Amino acid sequence: MICTGAPPVIDATVFDQWVGDTEHLLDVYAPCTIAIIPDHDITVTATYDWAISLDVYNGTGSGTYTEGRTVSIAANDPPDGDLFKQWVGHTAYVADPLSSTTDVNMPSAGVGDIAVTATYLECWDGDLNTNLVVDIVDLNMVLIDWGKTGGFADPRSDGNGDGTVSIIDLNMVLIDWGKTGYQP
Ligand SMILES: [Ca+2]
Ligand SMILES: [Ca+2]
């Protein structure tokens, strides 16, 4: 096992990759990696490059990377009933903004830090059972639990989550009555 030492004392640098006799290394991009030592001397050198930070909101892949690196990102699972919609933010560097798992191609250092956010398609507020239609089923959920402050037949009947099934939850259903699909 070999590991990089401290990076050069220059602001905003980060480990880039090993160079030299790297055919003996398990992973040239890992700051700590396994070296398979052959029957002769080998030399490897840790190199550093400008650091660019990538912030991934509602997903994984955040970190500090060197320019030009390809970084895998993945959106978190959407809340119940919702659907992944798209990445927003610095999408010029996202390989496929419409895919929940894709790559970010880190820009040149001159661009600076970048950020992307996963967004979701949300059901209508009144679609309490998240089946993509606001109808009598949602209304009945409210009526069955009407006035309760717990022990709900279906906790989703408390649409606004304030602990009581009341006129507020009923209105959520009535305002969205008849709507289908996801919110635009
Ligand atoms: Ca529904
Ligand atoms: Ca409520």
Q: How far is the CA of 148 from the centre of ligand 2 (A)?
A: 9
Q: How far is the CA of 24 from the centre of ligand 2 (A)?
A: 63
Residue 137 · residue 176 · CB < 8 Å? no
Q: How far is the CA of 101 from the centre of ligand 2 (A)?
A: 35
Q: How far is the CA of 22 from the centre of ligand 2 (A)?
A: 62
What is the separation, in whole angstroms, between the first and last Cα of the chain? 52
Q: How far is the CA of 63 from the centre of ligand 2 (A)?
A: 40
What's the helix, strand, coil split of the chain in %, to 5? 15, 35, 50
Closest ligand to residue 157's CA: 2
Q: How far is the CA of 16 from the centre of ligand 2 (A)?
A: 53
Token readout for 79 is: 């809340």
CA gyration radius, the chain: 26
Which pTM value belongs to this model?
A: 0.67
Closest ligand to residue 159's CA: 2
- Phi, psi torsion values for 94, nearest 5 degrees: -95, 130
Q: How far is the CA of 133 from the centre of ligand 2 (A)?
A: 20
**Cβ-Cβ contacts under 8 Å for 171 (sequence gap 6 or more):** none
**Cβ-Cβ contacts under 8 Å for 84 (sequence gap 6 or more):** 75, 78, 100, 118, 119, 120, 121
Domain ranges of the chain: 2-122, 136-175
Closest ligand to residue 166's CA: 2
Q: pLDDT by residue for the chain (184 residues), tens digit each? A: 777 665 555 555 778 889 999 999 999 988 888 888 889 999 998 888 778 899 999 999 999 888 889 999 999 999 888 999 999 999 999 999 999 999 999 998 788 899 999 999 999 999 999 999 999 999 999 999 999 999 999 999 999 999 999 999 999 999 999 999 999 9
How far apart are alpha carbons 33 and 114 in whole angstroms?
A: 28
How far apart are alpha carbons 157 and 167 in whole angstroms?
A: 11
Closest ligand to residue 128's CA: 1
